[in-house]
Amino acid sequence: MWWRTLFAVVVITVFGFGTLVYRVASIALIHGEEYQKRAIQQQLRDTEISPERGTIYDRNMKPLAQSASVWTIVIAPANIKNDEQRNFIADNLAEILNLDRDAIYEKACRNTYYEIIKRKVEEEEQKAVMEFATKNKITCISRIEDYKRYYPYGNFAATVLGFTGVDNQGLYGIEAYYDKQLKGVPGRVVAAKNALGTDMPFTYETMIEAQNGNDLVLTIDEVIQHYLEKYIEIAIKEHNVTNRATGIVMDVNTGEILAMTTKPDFDPNTPFEIFDEAARNRIEALPEEERREAILQEQAFQWRNKAVSDTYEPGSVFKILTAAMCLEEKLTNPNEMFNDTGSIKVADRRYRCWRSGGHGVETFTDAMKNSCNPIFITLAQRLGIPGFTRYFSAFGLTAKTGIDLPGEATGIYHKENEMKIVELASSSFGQTFKVTPIQLITAVSAVANGGHLVEPYVVAQIRDKEGNIIESRKPTVKRQVISQEVSKELCKMLEEVVRTGTGKNAYVPGYRIAGKTGTSEKIDTVDEQGKKSGRISSFCAFAPADDPKIVVLIMLDEPHGPNIGGGTLVGPIVGNFLEDVLPYLGVGQSFTPEELARMDVNAPNTVGKSIDLATKSLKDAGLKARVVGSGTTVIAQIPEAGKPIPRSGTVVLYTDEESKGRTVKVPNFVGLSPSQVNLEATNSGINIRFQGAGFEGDMPVFAYSQSIQPGTRVPLGTVVSVEFRIEDYSG
């Protein structure tokens, strides 16, 4: 009996201790890591400290995107004493924070110590919350500092900058591409909790400081960007552009993007709101079940950076590159003579010149000025498919440019083994393939800068919060595509396009501007009848032509009007833009004698002088005099002293009170030639300030608009500004 008892005790002891040892081993060795995590979760409270996101500056250190302190309001429901207090807290927080009262109450009923009530709370609201908590001795409400992204210029450069989400993560644009550098590293507060789940004293708390994000210094120039956005917005309204417009300004030598925009865009401060009023109204008119999908589509549309993410047919702007290819291969020269009969046949297809009957005998420079398709088709056939595709690739049009922005697209182009002579003909003037605007402007920069294909970029430097430079971007030259000699030849030819050819609407007195128009058909867009529809108008220019510094490309997608030629629509936009930007960049003016003859002078003061002295004073200033009245002394003049008047203009001198009130009707100058405008103005007794297109060359120029409406009665001698343009029907 004793041995049996002893045996039973031993068995029970071994079995019991064996089970215990197994359980301990299982907890410690097999499931140790899992239980350790669960213990830490029970014993510690881990709170994240948000880092301050880096500031984005323009090249002159103007902040374009920056972070400011906001707050996250949290509660500890387990510390709420009773249901009466829960209701009291829910009622007041809902009122202060403009939130749903029931949602707050539901969170207040949970058995937790950390519930977020609202993020991104502004200073005034968080003050009101904390005052409420202090006044009512409520200890379960607290605040955590956070940061909110601000864009001080609103929708300025929106598609380039992008925006951030609620957790300060970059979602689009530079904010997304450089998110790793901008966002910083979050900090933490780790506090021990007691058996009741409440925090232990501060001696049991560890804080790890957040590391703030780095700053970015862009190549974007805020002044140039504002000018670009201003003129593109004007163009969209004036020409009813229905599929957005885009523009890029680039340093031809370095690849630095000085400005880039797509309009209409959005306000990155409220990126999920539909910014375009017309789109907003269209969506609101939809049935409710369709509205959600329409909003999502419109948001994606307004966020999209058309300059890098969309492809298009470049049209005749591409002739710059076709010319570069053929000049580099010595297949032609600027003075070679051609005969444009009005059309050319390639295989079974006939291509026509935009001018009925053609341009006749002309040099290659004239063909560029006239944007003559048959001549460029002829040259492309000389070059051949292998040569064309080789240069097409060398100009970077078969690959991404490498610009440091998200969503860059690649072009849609003909492979050499698939290309036929018909595709070669169409490609010579920029049709039947697609490129992105950033690809095209980068290729044109290579033509302007001596033949070097550079890599475009928008971020020049990455700096820490103390201003130390962590990383600095240097210009990257990928390869030399054409020689410096060919580059210089093309610069001269393209200057003639603006001075006397289809690009005259971009002419600015005193500046040497080179450029090319483009009007292309959208090959993949059809109307209800199945016919191709939709046009793209564009203009690419660089200046100064003899020493290029910047290149600008502006593209309008689906403009509407009687004439949607790139020269007619976009040429004036580019001219106005360069007229503002070139002085800002320190580019000096140099006027020709013809330009000087049309420049304004300030009218001298002749009031109180005799007619003879007044007339001599005006003659010395390069002006004419017209005496009105029977007196011998000038008592008034139009234009008044100090006011601008075109050189060789006429100042009306009034010599008695009776004649001072004399007025004339302003004629309707729109549609008239310069000589007709001059005749009408002379007969009416008013002065004309000629603006807009240059007056050299054989391209017909007509009055497009006038500063004073026809029929308005004005004093004799009044100066009326008349803008002249050419009608560009070229491709």
Separation of alpha carbons 643 and 687, rounded Å = 13
Place of tokens 């300004």: 249
Active site residue 26: no
Q: Among the options 50, 67, 309, 316, which is catalytic?
A: 316
- 457 three-state secondary structure: strand
- Residues sharing a CB contact under 8 Å with residue 326, sequence separation 6 or more, in sequence order: 332, 379, 380, 382, 383
**Opening angle at CA 180, ends 174 and 185, nearest 5:** 135
Of 268, 163, 212, 221, residue with least CA distance to 54: 212
Q: At what angle do helices 83-97 and 101-108 cross, to 10 degrees?
A: 140
In this structure, what token pair is assigned to residue 177?
A: 């591409």
| Composition of the chain by helix, strand, coil, percent to 5 | 40, 25, 35
What is d(CA 567, CA 726) in angstroms, rounded to the nearest whole number? 8
For residue 264, what are its two tokens?
Answer: 């209409």
Q: Could you tell me if 528 and 464 are in contact, meaning their C-beta atoms sit under 8 angstroms apart? A: no
Number of H helices, E strands in the chain: 23, 31
Burial class (CB in 10 A: 0-12, 13-18, 19+), 78: middle
Beta strands in 558-635 (DSSP E): 600-602, 624-628
User: Which pair of tokens denotes residue 452?
Assistant: 């070097």
Name the 3-class secondary structure at 528: coil
Q: Supply φ then ψ for residue 343, to 5 degrees.
A: -165, 165
Q: Are 461 and 469 in contact (CB under 8 A)?
A: yes
Q: C-alpha 163: how far from its chain's center?
A: 15
Active site residue ranges: 316
